[in-house]
Amino acid sequence: MKNRDEGMVKTYHRKKLLVSITCVILALLLISIRLLYVCVFQSSYYLEKAQKLHERERDIKALRGEILDRNGVVLASNKTVCTVSVIHSQITQPQEVIQMLVKELDITEEAARKRVEKVSSIERVKTNVDKETGDRIREYNYSGVKVDEDYKRYYPYSKLCSKVLGFTGSDNQGILGLEAKYDAYLSGTPGQILTLTDAWGVEVKNGNEERDEPEKGSNLYTSIDINIQSYAQQLAQKTLEQKQAKSVSIIVMNPENGEILAMTNEPEYDLNNPYELNSDLLISSTGTSKMDLLNNMWRNFCINDTYEPGSIFKMVTATAALETGSVTLNDHFTCGGSAIVADRKIRCHKTTGHGTQTFTQTVMNSCNPAFIEWGRRVGTERFFEYMGKLGLLEKTGIDIAGEASTIIHKQENVGEVELATMSFGQSFQITPLQMLRAASAIINGGNLVTPHFAVKSVSEADGTAVEFNYEIQSNAIEEKTSLMMKDILRQVVEDGGGKKAYLEGFSIGGKTATSQKLPRGSGKYISSFIGFSPVDNAKVIAMCLIDEPQGIYYGGTIAAPVIRELFENILPYLEIQNN
Amino acid sequence: MDRTRKKSVKRYFDYSLLFVTIFIAGFGLIMIYSTSSYTAQMKFGNAQYYFKKQLMFMLLGFAAMYVAYRIDYHVWHKLAFPIFICASLLVFALIPFGSEANGATRWIRFGSIGVQPADVCKPAVIMMVSSAVCSYGTKLKKFRYVMLICILTGGVEAALVFVISNNMSSAIIIFLIAFVQTFIAYPGYKIYVALTGLVAAGVGGIYAWLTNMIKGGNMTESFRLNRLLVWINPENYASDKGFQTVQALYAIGSGGLFGKGLGKSLQKLGYIPESQNDMIFSIICEEIGLFGAIFVIIVFGVMLWRIAHVAQNAPDLFGTLLVSGVFAHIAIQVVLNIAVVTNFIPNTGVSLPFISYGGTSETILLAEIGLVLNVSSKIRLES
């Protein structure tokens, strides 16, 4: 009985069980409430944090904007290229894959085998494979072979305007020229793919992808005229060969607004292979590193380098002399073949002397002793003032980086001899473009323009356009001086040193120069000519520089005919009527 | 005559408990596959690695459940002490044979199968307490004898597990099982109310002290104390000690009301390490949302209610206590696990019964349900 009593389940046991189950249910209720709190009230907070943790961003390259000439011809565009890679773990037919790679990619079997047999997650076989080849490789449908498409900058005219356009780097970023200067406009906005990944960063298959589409860069419309540019480039190349010169540069500009129609520096390089030396440079290369050679190849002489302008600069001296009233058109000068300045004897290029000349004739003859006199009359202070007015003491402000600065004596150090040599364009250095800009101001009525290429950038997506405006300093010199100078420069071409630029039926003005390269006596020259047309109302101004020509080196003999040939073709094209 | 008497006595069988058990075990298996397939594929190249192992243990568990159901539970009265000793020896066996993982020795390997002695201790303690209580008889009117049983069985076993395998959570569970069983055995309430008040005051005190310490900003070296600091502000330690907790909260939070859909969890892709283990409930929340999670809690509630019902109606005190022990075992683990996952209490490794991955635990729990079913089958329905 006693035993049985102890083995019995009593009421209090049941009660205690009831208490227990009640406690448990209360506990479950409590944690359910906690769960409710996390799931409802903290859900968005944790969800956002979790999403940040799970998402990986992958950039999608934006298509780069195109560069076009003034007629809308595309000078720089984009091309689809492919990257071929192999994924070791997924290759099932290694032998077939190797043979296919050898056949399609033009690589040695050894190289293909090395890539295919290398144990790595992904091995790049070849980049910059053209799209047709990429498509063909895809059609083989071998597992473990991956063809990725990408965009690459493509220059349809390869060497055309290379030193102006510049090129892009591996990330499609502009490196030189317009590509670098207008990178912000051209590069566009990269898009993004947000993919879900596991804790190791591996993309989750079939996971939701969020795409943020890339925005193509704006197209850049330039003032370059492809017809003039290609003609100028051909002409420069022809001259380069004929004169066996180191380089030949031609600039064609609208003197009224500074729009550059063409700029070439032969030899140009292939924009599609900018890291490949052009053969001409290779020959003369010993002892210099490849990078130096490349830098040299990419240089734009018209902008990046300075030279002594020589006799072309007499335009500036003449302008200063006329406008300051130091000289009138009726003044005369008698050249005896040389002039004594301080203790030095400076020769005229015509050693027998030009005899007695009018002011205009001194320009036509490009007589050094006469200009020494005109310069002396202007005086150092006003001489510098006019160099400044004509923009020769500052950079031109062209929209390409790397402009060189004027190299000149300090004004207080300029003595008689320095002033004398400066009067005919020696003992200081400027860039060819600075000279052209000054010449433009002299012949356009006195307005100092900013030379430039970019006209506007237009977004393809929404059609919005950004117009680029450039400063024009009007009345840098007086209009009447400009009128006198134009007439003098017309006569230079009609019957003076620039005769060889004379073109029957067109009104052309100009000035020649033959600059001795430093050190003097090295026998190296830069022959140059600046011409413009029509004289009264110039629509085009062009400059030709021949660096280190072999044989005859007089600007009037070799550079002036180049401009004549150029004008012969481009003046009708520009609809500049013959008088 | 004999026959008619046998026929007239209707035996009870708790079908609802059986169905609830099968449901939860099946659901657990699905969740094991969902949580582990991705990482198993990465680690072993076999998405079904954990799933197959768990399935095997589950089948073993159902076999054990059937065996336990077929054995008259009174057998355990006499076997309790030897089983208790064997379980303790198994814990001791950890010293020479245990394999170490994460700084704790918890496993004994038999070939490819690992056994967790701490899990074996739980039914051993349940039996031992029941047996001891029934043997002591009238002495149980005195609280100190009840306490003595609790300490000598649950207390000793818990201490062994804690000291030898450095497994505090299992030790706590083992002790609490014994405590709940003796609570049911002892008639009085007052002393328990007092104890509860004391514990509540202690927890409150510690919490206040910790929040003060956080304001002071000094994180001490102690491993367990750090866990407490992490508990209060897990996101401050998100890259380190609070990592698991924060990742679990991310999972629960991103599940929201209805979840991302079964199989669609992202947190299981390596963000929550070994998400098929203790943190599996957070993936349940992420995949089937608050409603799914609450449903799982309700199913557990139904299971516990059925077990408590069997305990109340058991034919004798031994049966009541056995079933109460099983009740305590499941209830404590469910509550602690979900409380940990939701950062309601500090992080400690408690698995979710029938759902978390783990062979020993799964087999033992199913066998315990078998035991409950056997007790239920002894209930007489008198008309």
Burial B109-143 (b: 16+ CB within 10 A, else e): eeeeebbbbbbbbbbbbbbbbbbbbbebeeebeee
Number of domains in chain B: 1
In A, minimum Cα distance to B193 occurs at A19
Do residue B293 and residue A39 have CB atoms under 8 angstroms apart? yes
In a domain, B2, yes or no: no
Angstrom distance (rounded) from CA A509 to CA A473: 23
| CATH 3.30.930.10 is right for the domain spanning A59-112+122-222 | no
Task: Tally A–B CB contacts below 8 A.
Answer: 147
What is the β-pairing status of strands A540-547 and A247-253? antiparallel
In B, minimum Cα distance to A3 occurs at B137
Angstrom distance (rounded) from CA A105 to CA A122: 18
Nearest to A34 by CA among B290, B94, B362: B290
8 Å CB contact between A458 and A185: no
Q: How far is CA A159 from the centre of its chain?
A: 13
Q: Measured between CB atoms, does A329 come within 8 Å of chain B?
A: no
In a domain, B339, yes or no: yes
Taking only the tens place, the pLDDT of each residue in A353-393 is 888 899 999 999 888 899 999 999 999 999 999 999 999 99
In a domain, B1, yes or no: no
Catalytic residues of A, which ones? 311
Residue spans of alpha helices (H) in chain B: 2-8, 15-44, 49-70, 75-97, 117-136, 143-150, 156-165, 168-185, 190-216, 223-232, 243-255, 280-313, 317-341, 359-377
In a domain, B3, yes or no: no
Do residue A199 and residue B270 have CB atoms under 8 angstroms apart? yes
In a domain, B195, yes or no: yes
In chain B the first and final C-alpha atoms are separated, in Å, by: 19
- pLDDT for the residue numbered A287: 61
- pLDDT for the residue numbered A579: 55
Q: Which of A432-436, A494-498, B173-177, B293-297 has the lowest mean pLDDT?
A: A494-498
Angstrom distance (rounded) from CA B38 to CA B44: 10
- pLDDT for the residue numbered A285: 53
Distances (CA, A) of A424 to A123, A344, A418, A420: 64, 16, 10, 7
Q: How far is CA A344 from the centre of its chain?
A: 44
Angstrom distance (rounded) from CA A416 to CA A427: 12
8 Å CB contact between B14 and B309: yes
Q: Which CATH number fits domain A230-266+303-573: 3.40.710.10, 3.40.50.300, 3.20.20.70, 2.40.30.110?
A: 3.40.710.10
Region of B259 please: left (phi>0), alpha (psi -120 to 50) or beta: left
Taking only the tens place, the pLDDT of each residue in A55-65 is 877 777 788 99
Burial A441-471 (b: 16+ CB within 10 A, else e): bbbbbbbbbbbbbbbebbbeeeeeeeebebe
In a domain, B251, yes or no: yes
**For range A196-212, the mean pLDDT:** 73
Domain with B32, as residue range(s), is 12-378
Do residue A204 and residue B266 have CB atoms under 8 angstroms apart? yes
Which pTM does this prediction carry?
Answer: 0.64
- Please name the amino acid found at residue A141: N
Distances (CA, A) of A511 to A125, A150, A541: 58, 51, 11
What is the percent of chain B with per-residue pLDDT over 90, rounded to a whole number?
52
Q: How far is CA A104 from the centre of its chain?
A: 35
Which tops the pLDDT comparison, B105 or A283? B105
What is the percent of chain B with per-residue pLDDT over 70, rounded to a whole number?
91
Q: How far is CA B371 from the centre of its chain?
A: 16
User: Which of chain B's residues have a Cβ under 8 Å away from the Cβ of A53?
Assistant: 250, 271
In a domain, B79, yes or no: yes
The reply to whether omega before A255 is within 30° of 0 (cis) is no
Distance from CA of A44 to the nearest CA of B (A): 7
Do residue B187 and residue A12 have CB atoms under 8 angstroms apart? yes
Angstrom distance (rounded) from CA A56 to CA B114: 39
What is the percent of chain A with per-residue pLDDT over 70, rounded to a whole number?
96
Ranges in chain A annotated CATH 3.40.710.10: 230-266+303-573
Classify residue B45 as exposed, middle or buried by CB count within 10 Å of its CB (0-12, 13-18, 19+).
Answer: exposed
Do residue A50 and residue B289 have CB atoms under 8 angstroms apart? no
- pLDDT for the residue numbered A275: 85
Q: Measured between CB atoms, does A41 come within 8 Å of chain B?
A: no
Which tops the pLDDT comparison, A6 or A323? A323
In the numeric block, which tokens belong to residue A442?
A: 């002299």
Mutation test of the interface with chain B: which of A20, A42, A196, choosing the one with the most B Cβ atoms within 10 A? A20
Mean pLDDT of chain A: 87
Angstrom distance (rounded) from CA A49 to CA B277: 23
Mutation test of the interface with chain A: which of B252, B298, B309, choosing the one with the most A Cβ atoms within 10 A? B252
In a domain, B88, yes or no: yes
Nearest to B278 by CA among B338, B330, B346: B338
What is the β-pairing status of strands A219-222 and A67-68? parallel
Mutation test of the interface with chain A: which of B136, B138, B143, B254, choosing the one with the most A Cβ atoms within 10 A? B254
Mean pLDDT of chain B: 87
**For range B282-293, the mean pLDDT:** 94
- pLDDT for the residue numbered A282: 54
Classify residue B7 as exposed, middle or buried by CB count within 10 Å of its CB (0-12, 13-18, 19+).
Answer: exposed
Angstrom distance (rounded) from CA A203 to CA A192: 15
- pLDDT for the residue numbered A4: 47
8 Å CB contact between B77 and B318: yes
Q: What is the ipTM of this complex?
A: 0.91
Sorted by sequence, the CB contacts under 8 Å of residue A449 that are 6+ apart come out as A255, A256, A257, A258, A437, A440, A441, A470, A472
**For range A71-91, the mean pLDDT:** 85
Ranges in chain A annotated CATH 3.90.1310.10: 59-112+122-222
Angstrom distance (rounded) from CA A163 to CA A266: 9
Identify which of A7, A39, A51 has the shortest CB distance to residue B257.
A39
